Structure formats: structure tokens, C-alpha cells
Chain A
Amino acid sequence: MKTPSYSSIEPAHETFQEPIFNAPCGGIDHRMHRRLFLQGSLAGAASVASFQSLFCVPTFADEAKAQGKKCILLWLCGAPSQFETWDPKPGRPTSGPFGTISTTIPGIRISELMPKTATILDKLTVVRSMSTEPTEHFQAIDMLTRGEPPRPPFTRPILGSVLAKHLGHLDSPVPQFVLLDPCPEGNEFKSFKAGNWAGWLGAEYGPVRFGGKYRIENTDMPKGMMEADLSDREMLRSFLSKKFENDRKTAAVQSYNAVFERVKGLMQAAPLFDLSKLPASDRERYGPGTFGMHTLLARHLIENGSTFVMVANGMPWDCHVLNHETYQMLVPELDRIIFHLVNDLESRGMLENTLVLIMGEFGRTPWLNEARGRDHYPNAWSLAMAGCGLKPGVVYGSTDPNGIAVSDKALDQRRLFATIYRALGLDPHETYNLPDFPTFYRVEKNAAPVNELLL
């Protein structure tokens, strides 16, 4: 076997050129490999601008716009009630105390807790006929973010990892899959977060987590070091580590190496995560509250080159007690956030390429328990989407008068995922060809996308 020399660790079929980050997207130039960049500096063949000067927001933004499709997932963790949002049942025993209001879609009414969204419902796509199986958070979160129930020891990637791989640009300094996470704790969601998100795609497609306790620190260049010192050192580290990883492809080992691949990009992109750099008026519109701030940040990251941003919302929607009192606070906040996000994306010309998903892992029971809470209910629930590839102003499916069962066009998670992938321009039935693995499909069982929802 040929012993690699330091300068031949990576194939040298492209020559180093600069600048690297404002190259046109999608072309071979854009895919200028990070490692080639390192290699160039290593050979001392090119002088390289400092990290900070390579970074500038407009460059990222221009590039991002020219790039393909993106996705923001407002993850309403804990599972929101369909009755107090998209599928109210006024006058029925299952209804809560809240009324309904008309929307910009003739004949469609939603909860009065969502007055702002009602004025833009014609830009949204609502599904009122979700019907799934898992009744507990962990299992349902797992399934509704991956699209399939588990089949150990194989771990299917989370939607965000699939999009980061197939729509994203791994070499971009901006992280492609960001999880904005206000609350690192939170029962089932905590153990879910501890899991393996990127699955068989490999840890490099896992999320960069930020928010709550997860601040991004240590993004400044260490004193006394030059950019080339960092790059060379990391290249050596990576070479030594990959040898180790090749024989031990566990998710934990792979994720360790993957997070080092992110260091340089994050050092450049760190200012993107600084909300104080955004206009005060933006912060006022989305805020107060972490959910709003994180949604604003999601918009900003998508604008600047991230492919998938998941805004996780703690577990507040899991209202086993005092459903109405809690929803009276939660839903108006969600209403405001949806309104501004969709409008902002539209006014920036980004909505047609950005898919917004607004959902949790199931719905809530039509009946109240004695604690006046609504319990878990996967049988019939709602979600909303907007943008990219979806037909706006569609309300799909329906439930019976009491919202106990789906009466028309039941949708399971496979068809939902097939629709999401198709909307984003990805083939839902593509196979994953992995050595030593059974054949997996992006969406299993040949589940068909819902054409009525698609442009």
C-alpha cells in the first residue's frame, strides 16, 4: 500500500484558488474542498486572508439565495392541540372555550387564538387529517422526525440530516443543519436529543446545537496563532483520527470527528448567531420569548446559507393539565411567529424556496381529562406548512364533527414525508445504498406524495 505523504492525503485534482466563499454556487468552484484550502495553505503556495476577513454576511446571503431549497421546522415539542389551532370544533362537546375566526381562505375557520395567521392562511397549507400510531413522546418524536419507526441496529437519519446532505453544502462555513434549542432539559425530548440524529448518513450531517445553555463559545482565533497553524494542525488531527474511525464506525466516534470539521466554519460564521446584530424592530416583532427569537435566528441562518433549521420549543405543548389556560398563552405567541416568519420569507423572495413546517409529534385528545388537560392523541391531528413547492391556501383532509377520527384523506407520516421530499425537489423513493445494509428507501413502502398539496 502506498504510504500517503502529508501533501497527498487528499486528492489534488483541483488547484487552490481564492477567494473561496463567494464563488458561484452549485458549480465545481463552490465545492472547493475545505481540505484543498488547507492543503493550499499547508504547501505555503498561497497566502490566505484571515478568517475574519473571509467572513462577511452579504457574501453568505448572496450565495444562500442562489442556492437551492431550504427548510425551517418549528417543532412544537410535546404535541399541540389541533382544537385550539387548525381544526377547531365550535359548539361541539370537544371544543374548548375559544371561538373561531374566518380566514383568507373562504369557508375555512381556525381558532380565534390565531388572528394574525388567519389573515395569511391563503399562504399556508394545512393538513387536518394526520393519523399516526405512537402515543408516547419519545417514540412519536423519533418517528415524526425520521419518517419511520425504528429498526435497530440501523438508524434512519432525521429529516434535517437528509436535507443537509442532499440540499446542503457541507463545505460551507455556515452549519447546514442547526438545532435551536431553548431548553436542554425536558423529559423525552432530552433523551431524544441525546440520540443519533444523522444516523447512517454519518455524523457530519448531524445538527449544530445552539440556544439555551448551548452558546457557541471559543470561536476566536487563539492568540499567537495564525490561520495556517490552525488548519495544518487540524489536518494532521483529522488524518490521525480517521485511521482510528475507519475501524470503529460507531456514531459516537464519527460524531467526534465530525464536530472538528465544523470548527473553522463556525469561527467564521459565529457572528451569524449573534441576535443583537439584527435590527431591533425584527427582535420586537418576533419577541419577546425564546421561541420567537430562535425563529428570527432561523430566518437569519436560512438567509445566510443554512439548509435546515429546527426551532425546538421545549415541551410546553404537552398540556395534561389546564389545557385552555396554557394554550391561551402559547397559541398567540405561535400565531405571531408564524405570521412574521411567513411574511418575512415572502417579502424577501425566499418563501418559494423555503419550506416551513409547523408541527409536533401528535395531537391532543378531543376530550378533557379531569385535570382539564388534553392527553396524547395520534389518531386525528393537524399540522401546517408553507412555502417551497406546496400549493398555498389548501386545507387538506378533515375530521369528524367531534374531531375524534379522520373522516377524509387520512395522512400518515410516510405520505407526509413523501410530500415534504417532493416539495423540496427530492425523490421520495430513492434508495440508500449502504454496504452491509438492507435496502432502505428515503420513504418506505412506496408511499406516494399527496399531489393535492403540491404545486
Chain B
Amino acid sequence: MFSDRFVVCLSLGLGLTILSEFARSEEPGVAKDDASRQSIPWDTLPSGLDPTLVIDLAMEDGCRREGIQLAPECDDTLFIRRAYLDLVGRVPTLDEANSFLSQTDSNKRSLLIDRLLDSEEYAAHLAEVFDAILIGRTNPEQLRRRTEAGWIDYLQRAIRENRPWNHVSREILLARNESADKQGANWYLYARNDKTQEIAEAVSKDFFGVRIDCAQCHDHPLASEIEQKHYWGLVAFFNRSKNVDKSHKNPRISESAIGGFSEFANVEGESKPNELVYLGNRSVAEQRPGKDSKEEDKDELYLDSTDKSYRVPKFSRREQFVEHVLKDHPLFAKSMVNRMWGWMMGRGLVHPVDALDSYHPASHPELLEWLGRDFERSGFDIKRLIRSLALSRTYQRESRQMAIADPKWFSSSIPKPLTAEMLHRSFGTVLVPKDLNSWNNPITRQEFTRLFPDVLTEESMSNVSQSLLLSNSRILLDLITPQNSDLLSRLVSKELTSEAIVQELFRAILGRNPEEDELKVSAEYLGRPHPKSTMLIEGLAWSLLTSAEFRFNH
């Protein structure tokens, strides 16, 4: 059991004077066993504290009050694998791991996090994750179109330059690509082919963390703040927009200055106008034409533009949305915090991550509020947010469970299945394909994205299609051969004992040495008579590559 004193020690250890002042005001030496007592003064917690510290205090406080034992800090081999997977989307190479493990700097985890966050791989990886969240996984053909449209570059640039999330969101939803550096931003809306309901459902989920889909027909039955008018209001913000240039050479979204007025009917049959309104009753006033009057589309309603390929009205509903709904919306910062929390920690403070409604209370509501405000104060700095999470003790715990506990308390690290992209890339990282292009291409990757879970799934249960693919598909088996894998060809070319082969494969694939029983069992496997002994090495490599230990980020 953790005591208050432990929390005090931790805060003191981190040199946080304000919290230690607070803690010192407690009577010394008195056992604090009032388990339900809230010990973090959220109301008076000053802004500007290090979010990492606040995260750990909140988590440790929660576990203490619940009487849940915390898992210990993970060791360096676990940490480097976890950090590489989360921050750059693959396991570390043997060299990268060895170099990290040999460092003696007490600050080395923090240095590694910074190095990874500044790498080009981070930008590519996080852009891939954001693409999957914002538009969704796709086939190689669609990916080519997204790339040609500039969307992938746009995301990578935004992440590489760590542009503020509110600016990026604004550009994506304004969708005007008005300068070269914003080229591609409009693909988020454009890709949805004028399907305005699809757009509304996506915008609500992606920028506010709220699934609004079911409010199409009625007010949300379980979360009363989500009303049907919000659904149709959100649709209205986007229903004057229209894709132009269907050839996709220069994808543009034009917007009309008129139209888009309709009514929606609830299940009681009452009709209501689709006014410009969204959650939190953020609304934009707009003159509705009378019943019998007809709007006239006139040039004077539009801005002059040199680019005649699309029109921008003086009163733009999209712009109104960005200025009056998106801007400073309380859910905007919180939804990003919750999503990145979910990405790093294995589940959101609100779970699932896109259910920030009253029916899904946060496990640590005050922390989520605090982090939301902190994210906003930081200028919507995504890299800082990720860094704060990665530096926390909460992130760096072992995944071994000390006892059964609801995962919402984060008392141990939650094993996260590698996404399809991570799995594919990590197979390549450890096996080292001789022909890199034959492995690192969208078609091979698609074999995995087709069958393995999407990013940030609610709960990730495996299915037999996955085990059959890993067991029998030539896609993977061909790479696990000395002909195609540099790792294996180097291994078979050396005259090594079975034990040495086992050790090398464990280190290369799992990043650790085998335990005694693993060494014995694996060496026995290699030692059995077989007409083609390289097949046994391949078999051991396969067993490690498909082991649960490799499959999960733990």
C-alpha cells in the first residue's frame, strides 16, 4: 500500500516545492488511512506544473485510494522497446538497443525520448497514425491518391514541425489549401466525397472525441447533452461544400453562399430547422430564407479570388464553424489529450477514446480537465503532450500485473497489440530483408492492415484470420528464410552451437537474453534431427516473431 508519505517523497524527489508545501502541511507521522480522501488539491493546483508530475500524482493517488498495488518500473530493455514502438512505430534494432543499454547517463530515458521525438521516423510514424485515425486505413491505390493530394506530406510536416493542433485542425476543416504549406489539408473533407453526414460524424469524433452517429434519429438516449439538432447542425456547417475537380488532379472544395436549409424530423415526427449549432450549444446565427422566397446566388456574395477553381463565400459556414465552434471548445483539447493518452497508455482516461460524453465518465476526471487546460496553455503542443506521457512513471511501469485490477487505474502498463503497421515494420526491422523494397511496400503492408486491428481500437481481441496468416501465409514465411533475411543468413553462415543461435535470435527478435528454461527448450528444438536444419532455425525465428511477447507492446 502506498501512503501519502510516499507521494510526498516522490514529489519532493522531483523538487516540486508547491506540492511538497501542500504535503508538509499534513501532520507528520500520522497514518493516513482514510482511503476515500481526495489528496490532490485540484482546485488550487497551480498552472504551469510539469504535467508528468501531475499525471503520476493523480495515478498513484487513485491506486492508493483503491488499494491497488503499483507495478514496478520497467527495466531498460522493456523501456527502449516500448518507446521505439510508441514513438517511431517499430522495435529498436540490436545496435540501437545495445547502444542505449550501455549508456550510464541517469537521464538516458529522457534523452532517448527527445531523440526519438526529433527523428524523421517519428513524423512518418505519427502521420501514419493520424491518417488512420482521421481518414482511416486504406488500400495502396487510395494511399497513392492521398499522397498525391499532399495529405500525407501535410500531416508529416505538421508533426515534424510540431505545429499547434488547433492550427492544424483549423486548416483541415477550413480546407482551402490557401498556400503551398497547406497543400493537402483539404483531403480530410475531400476524401469523404460530399457525404455530409459522414463528414459530420467524422468531425465530431476526430476533433471533439464524441461519437454523434446515433443522434441522427434522436437525442442520444444515454448522454442527454448530445441532441439530434447537434447532429444536423454539424451537417449544416458542411452542407454547402462541394468537391470540385473530380479528376483529383487539383482537389478543391468549393463552398456555396446559399442553400443548405432543411428540416430534420425526430422520432415523434416533429420537424425542426437544421440550425448551425453543435454540442455545448455553440451556435452561429444565420438568416433563414422565408418559406416561399428563393435565394439568389450572386457574385457579390463571394470573395474575389485569383484561383477560380473554387469559390469562397463571404459568409462561409465552414469558416464560421472553425471560428465559433471549434475554437476554444472545451472538448477540443480534452479529446486530443484523451486520444494521446490512449495511444501511449493502452486505453483512454475516457474509454473508449471517442466517447467523451456524460455516459462515459473519465477514470480520472480532474486529471483530464487539468491536462486539457495544460495542453491548451502549451499552445496545443502535441510533442510536449506525448513527451509528458512518455516521461511519466505511469508510462514506464512493468506490464506484469501484481493482482487483478480494473485497467482504468493504470496500476501496471497495459500490453498494447502492435498496430498492423508496427508489426509489419518490426518484422522488417529484426529480420533485415535483403531486398528492402520487396518488404517495405504498401502491398505487403496491406496484407497486415487488412487483418490486424486498427489504431486505438476499443478492445483488441485476436481472431483466427490473424493466426492463420502468421502461420501459413508465404508473405511472412518467405521473409523468415536465410535467402531473404540478412539476420538469418548471417546466422546460418556462422558455425554456431544451438545455444549460441538461440541467444542471438532472442536478442535480435525479443531484445533480451533467453531465460534458462527458454534456452534449454529452444536449443533442444534446434538439436532435433531434421533433413533440413535451416528449417529449424527458421522455426525458432518464427516462434519468437509470432510469440505474444513480440505481438504486444508491453
With contacts A136-B221, A233-B539, A373-B267 taken as known, whether A256 is within 8 angstroms of B548 at the C-beta atoms is yes
Decide: A153 and B405 in contact? CB cutoff 8 A.
Answer: yes
Chain B residue with Cβ nearest A435: B404
Kindly list chain A residues whose C-beta atoms are within 8 Å of the C-beta of B472. 218-222, 263, 267
Decide: B462 and A241 in contact? CB cutoff 8 A.
Answer: no
Kindly list chain A residues whose C-beta atoms are within 8 Å of the C-beta of B540. 236
Decide: B521 and A4 in contact? CB cutoff 8 A.
Answer: yes
How long is the Cα–Cα vector from A5 to B524 in the complex, in angstroms? 8
Q: Mark A122-153, 1 if CB is under 8 A from B, else 0.
A: 00000000000001100000000000000011
Name the one of B270, B399, B468 contacting A248, with C-beta atoms under 8 angstroms: B399
Kindly list chain A residues whose C-beta atoms are within 8 Å of the C-beta of B457. 194
Count residues on chain B whose CB falls below 8 Å from chain A CBs: 66
Decide: A375 and B267 in contact? CB cutoff 8 A.
Answer: yes
Decide: A3 and B517 in contact? CB cutoff 8 A.
Answer: yes
Q: How far is the CB of A393 from chain B (nearest CB, A)?
A: 38
Decide: B548 and A217 in contact? CB cutoff 8 A.
Answer: no
Name the one of B399, B469, B524, B535 contacting A217, with C-beta atoms under 8 angstroms: B469
Kindly list chain A residues whose C-beta atoms are within 8 Å of the C-beta of B265. 370-371
How long is the Cα–Cα vector from A214 to B468 in the complex, in angstroms? 12
How long is the Cα–Cα vector from A233 to B542 in the complex, in angstroms? 7
Kindly list chain B residues whose C-beta atoms are within 8 Å of the C-beta of A375. 267
Kindly list chain A residues whose C-beta atoms are within 8 Å of the C-beta of B547. 237, 240-241, 244
Name the one of B400, B465, B467 contacting A247, with C-beta atoms under 8 angstroms: B400
Is B288 an interface position by the 8 A CB rule?
no
Is B417 an interface position by the 8 A CB rule?
yes
Decide: B548 and A239 in contact? CB cutoff 8 A.
Answer: no
Kindly list chain A residues whose C-beta atoms are within 8 Å of the C-beta of B518. 240, 243
How long is the Cα–Cα vector from A219 to B134 in the complex, in angstroms? 34
With contacts A233-B539, A248-B554 taken as known, whether A370 is within 8 angstroms of B269 at the C-beta atoms is yes
Decide: A260 and B539 in contact? CB cutoff 8 A.
Answer: no
How long is the Cα–Cα vector from A252 to B548 in the complex, in angstroms? 10
Q: Mark B513-549, 1 if CB is under 8 A from A, else 0.
A: 0011110111011001100000100011011101111
Decide: A217 and B517 in contact? CB cutoff 8 A.
Answer: no
B residues 447-489 near A (Cβ < 8 Å) are: 457-469, 471-474, 477
How long is the Cα–Cα vector from A307 to B463 in the complex, in angstroms? 19
Chain B residue with Cβ nearest A6: B524
How long is the Cα–Cα vector from A33 to B542 in the complex, in angstroms? 24
Decide: B462 and A153 in contact? CB cutoff 8 A.
Answer: no
27 A-B residue pairings within 8 Å (CB atoms): A5-B521, A6-B521, A9-B521, A136-B222, A194-B459, A194-B460, A217-B469, A239-B521, A240-B518, A250-B414, A251-B459, A251-B461, A252-B462, A256-B467, A256-B552, A259-B466, A260-B471, A260-B546, A263-B467, A263-B468, A263-B471, A263-B472, A266-B464, A267-B468, A369-B268, A371-B265, A371-B267
Residues of B within 8 A of A (CB): 213-214, 217-218, 221-222, 265, 267-270, 352, 399-401, 403-408, 414-415, 417, 457-469, 471-474, 477, 515-518, 520-522, 524-525, 528-529, 535, 539-540, 542-544, 546-549, 551-552, 554
Residues of A within 8 A of B (CB): 3-7, 9, 42, 44, 135-136, 152-153, 175, 187, 191, 194-197, 203, 206, 208-209, 214-223, 225, 229-230, 232-234, 236-237, 239-241, 243-245, 247-253, 255-260, 262-263, 266-267, 320, 369-371, 373, 375, 436-437
